[in-house]
Structure 1
Amino acid sequence: MHKWITCAFLFLSLSALAQYKITGRVLDSADKKPIPGATIYLANASVGTSSTADGNFTLDNVRGGQYELVVSMVGYNSYHKVLLVNNNIDLPVIVIAEKVNLLKEVSIRPDPDWERNYEAFRAEFLGTSDFAKECKIVNPETLIIHYDKINFVLTASSLDFVVIDNKALGYRVKYKLDTFSKDYHQGMRYYAGTASFEKMKGKKPSQERKWEKNRLKAYKGSSMEFLRLLIAGEVAEHGFKVLRLIRKPNPEYKGFGNRYIDGLVTKPLIPADYAKRTDQKDLFALAFDNCLYVMYNGGSPVPDDGKNPNGIGWATTNIIFNKPYAVFDNNGIFTDPSSITFEGEWGKSSIADLLPVDFEPELKK
């Protein structure tokens, strides 16, 4: 269980974040021989490599934070390990085992609703933004999609990595979709999985510049930027304001209408009201006795008194706590996404807007 320091919230300079190195070796579990050519990457990040002839590997320039290390090799079971990176790490020897083929012959019937269900899934997974229009799922055949017509729930998973060419942000994303669900009755969407990011090479310098501009657009106002600015102590300076959202169950709710009664306290909160350092280096926590209402005005500094003209033009997000606190790392990523729920702007985010967790915006010269 994490503990946090309540006496002070210590701010760090984002520019001072160190880069670390992860080294290791991959062996076959049966004969303990090296496995060359295994793919090693940090899930949802842009750092990856392959093992050499002697099974060794090195991941360089790793931004501090919590990651899931993945080792993958054709014909072998994948290896997963969660790492908190705040120093150079020399891993113990990693052994992976060959897969045992226990497949049974099954009869697969064509799904007459597959195309319709796929289009519904694609709209929810990639989104409907301008960025989404420039995204293509290269191998839709790896998806398993089902629609429950009784409960109005769309579910999906993937047999292998779903390859997505995001020509808006300039990434080829390989996403292993563990679970996806869209409850149309409740209006709730949830998906989880691991991804690797590979930067595309632009045909022209102008295309590279467009990608950098779009990546910055996806980053600005995001939960990633907010949490990183929170660590740096620069939330208000970059256009964010946080209020207390008081949410109570609606006693008159009968299955339709408003489930809750919400009220806002207009006095802005300060970071120490809802953010703390944990007892682990480079891990932080959001903790609050109610819900948080996060406002973003596009990046202009918020006045000291926090006032704004009726909130017009502000993007807003409700942060609902599913657990007593939500831990996040230097990358601005929650270590347990199920600890919170986003309603509003951040809740609309889709794969088309997804950046690698170690993304660093280029500073203006």
Structure 2
Amino acid sequence: MVWLTLPVSGWAQARLSGVVLDSLTQQPLPFSTVFLANTTLGVTTDEAGRFAFERVPSGSYEAVASFLGYRLRRLPVVIATTAQQLTFRLPPTATALGEVVVRATPNNPDDYRKFVESFLGATSFSRQCRIRDPEAVRVRYDAQANELHATCQDYVTVENQALGYRIKYYGLDFRLNFRQQWVAFYGWPIMEDLSSKSERQRRRWQENRRQAYVGSLTHFLRSVYENRVAQEGFVVQRLRRVVNPARAQADSLLTLMRQQTTTRRLLNPARFDDSLHALTKVPRQLEYLYTRPLATEAYRQQLPDSGRVALQFPDLLQVTYAREKPDPAYALHLARTAPLGRAAPAAPTTQVSVLQLLLPQVLLQANGQATNPLGVLTEGYWGFEKLGEFLPVNYQPTSPKSTP
């Protein structure tokens, strides 16, 4: 058996080159690191500070330059079919200028543990991820905001033994809000393949990467871009959420009952407790799922005279992928996160996610990335997947092909 790389249609390529300079002296910085964030494309500058990427797939990227003793710099770049050149001017850090730097105190072990669990995730692949330089991360808890905040001065290194990647995550900014129950992080990661002399190990990595890709948000957005949603195995339905009018009435009754707790409990304590419990379970929102699958034209917009593709739809999309079963760890995640007083949901048999747009329209790229990633919000299975399933944007799926 050999592995065949399947080309992704519509991916043009172009050359990207440039130079990295000291912003004060304008002298070249040899052996600097230059990479395209969220990819495996990275190079080192030569003695004259020059670099070149010969064949970059089309799309929007953030080019990043880094050098020890200097501040990281980023430049947005859009790759089409013509060669481009960039000039990075890196300012020296405070230590390079001889200033005094106050070092951070060690992390609180409990805060660091919560950061690791939320950053790496709880999937089966996430359990095979390790942070190799925990001292690079500064974690602090803001009691007033009830929020955990983690940053790193340069980069933090994560090894994913499930997918065979080493990730250097530059400029990490991580936030875990306990009050509103959300996690958000961003930065500029560069990924490189782990090495192995074992052919069996390399094949396992290839299969795990394919498994991480199929059914993922990137897979779905690529299929939307190429107008192959049904062929790729996705079922898309419209989902509406509206405020439950009964919730306001339930809140009023709860307030009244709590004000009269002593009197009512003495009269009939069992009935009082049952009523109180029932009122707390009234949902704040009602969901309406349209059973008929949506035609692609209901959410995919082909912009006139430009060839560009955008996501645009009312309400939300529920996206189901049934060609592969969910990670077994997902059922445990649902049980742990079930609201108090409610039974844990049955183990799901399909991957079900919810997609919400935070902007009226979000442009898509051929590589399956949104031009503005902050315009897309995911829930369900896509929200469950974290760094354990993280693939570079230039990843192309592989498929086994039998040899004669």
- Sort the TM-score into its range (normalised by shorter chain): 0.7 to 0.9
Larger radius of gyration: 2
Q: What's the CA shift string for 1:204-233, capped at 9, x where partnerless?
A: 000000000000010010000011111222
Q: Distance between the aligned counterparts of 1:145 and 1:31, measured in 2?
A: 35
Query: Does the 8 Å CA contact 2:10/2:366 hold for their aligned counterparts?
Result: no
Q: Unmatched 5+ residue regions in structure 2?
A: 1-6, 255-279, 326-347
- Residue 60 and residue 214 in structure 1: after superposition, are their counterparts in 2 closer, same or farther (change >3 A)? same
Query: Does the 8 Å CA contact 1:86/1:281 hold for their aligned counterparts?
Result: no
1:267 to 2:261 alignment: no
Match of 1:333 in 2: 369
Match of 2:238 in 1: 244
Q: Distance between the aligned counterparts of 2:91 and 2:52, measured in 1?
A: 21
Q: Distance between the aligned counterparts of 2:307 and 2:177, measured in 1?
A: 36
Q: What's the CA shift string for 1:290-317, capped at 9, x where partnerless?
A: 11111111269xxxxxxxxxxx722111
- Residue 81 and residue 110 in structure 1: after superposition, are their counterparts in 2 closer, same or farther (change >3 A)? closer
Q: Distance between the aligned counterparts of 1:178 and 1:242, measured in 2?
A: 33
Q: Distance between the aligned counterparts of 2:169 and 2:143, measured in 1?
A: 27
Equivalent runs, 1:307-318 vs 2, <5 Å: 313-318=349-354
Residue 149 of structure 1 deviates from its aligned partner by 4.5
- Which residue among 174, 177, 186 is the counterpart of 2:180? 186
- Which residue among 298, 304, 311 is the counterpart of 1:286? 311
Query: Does the 8 Å CA contact 1:64/1:282 hold for their aligned counterparts?
Result: no
Return the letter of the residue paired with 1:287: Q
- Residue 93 and residue 206 in structure 1: after superposition, are their counterparts in 2 closer, same or farther (change >3 A)? same
Query: Does the 8 Å CA contact 1:283/1:330 hold for their aligned counterparts?
Result: no
Secondary structure at the residue paired with 1:91?
Answer: strand
Q: What's the CA shift string for 1:240-297, capped at 9, x where partnerless?
A: 0111111112342559753322101112112211112347967532111211111111
Q: Distance between the aligned counterparts of 1:279 and 1:91, measured in 2?
A: 30
- Residue 25 and residue 346 in structure 1: after superposition, are their counterparts in 2 closer, same or farther (change >3 A)? same
- Which residue among 214, 225, 228 is the counterpart of 2:222? 228
Residue 203 of structure 1 deviates from its aligned partner by 2.7
Query: Does the 8 Å CA contact 2:324/2:350 hold for their aligned counterparts?
Result: no
1:68 to 2:62 alignment: yes
Secondary structure at the residue paired with 1:32?
Answer: coil
Q: Distance between the aligned counterparts of 1:132 and 1:345, measured in 2?
A: 14
Q: What's the CA shift string for 1:160-189, capped at 9, x where partnerless?
A: 211011111000000125322222332211
Query: Does the 8 Å CA contact 1:69/1:83 hold for their aligned counterparts?
Result: yes
Equivalent runs, 1:126-275 vs 2, <5 Å: 126-149=120-143, 151-251=145-245, 252=247, 258-275=283-300
Q: Distance between the aligned counterparts of 1:105 and 1:56, measured in 2?
A: 31
Residue 78 of structure 1 deviates from its aligned partner by 2.0
Return the letter of the residue paired with 2:76: V
Match of 2:383 in 1: 347
- Which residue among 356, 370, 381 is the counterpart of 1:320? 356
Q: Distance between the aligned counterparts of 1:107 and 1:299, measured in 2?
A: 48
Return the letter of the residue paired with 2:221: L
- Residue 181 and residue 108 in structure 1: after superposition, are their counterparts in 2 closer, same or farther (change >3 A)? closer
1:94 to 2:119 alignment: no
Match of 2:395 in 1: 359
Secondary structure at the residue paired with 2:400?
Answer: coil
Q: Relative to total residues, which structure has the larger helix share, 1 or 2? A: 2
Query: Does the 8 Å CA contact 2:225/2:364 hold for their aligned counterparts?
Result: no
Aligned CA RMSD, in angstroms, stands at: 2.5
Q: Distance between the aligned counterparts of 1:107 and 1:215, measured in 2?
A: 39
Residue 108 of structure 1 deviates from its aligned partner by 5.2
Return the letter of the residue paired with 1:67: Y
Q: Distance between the aligned counterparts of 1:25 and 1:108, measured in 2?
A: 33
Bigger drift between 179-188 and 338-347 goes to: 179-188
Q: What's the CA shift string for 1:45-75, capped at 9, x where partnerless?
A: 0101011122221113322111100011112
Bigger drift between 209-218 and 18-27 goes to: 18-27
The alignment covers a number of residue pairs equal to 340
- Which residue among 29, 32, 38 is the counterpart of 2:26? 32
Q: Distance between the aligned counterparts of 1:40 and 1:117, measured in 2?
A: 32
Query: Does the 8 Å CA contact 1:65/1:282 hold for their aligned counterparts?
Result: no
Residue 81 of structure 1 deviates from its aligned partner by 1.0
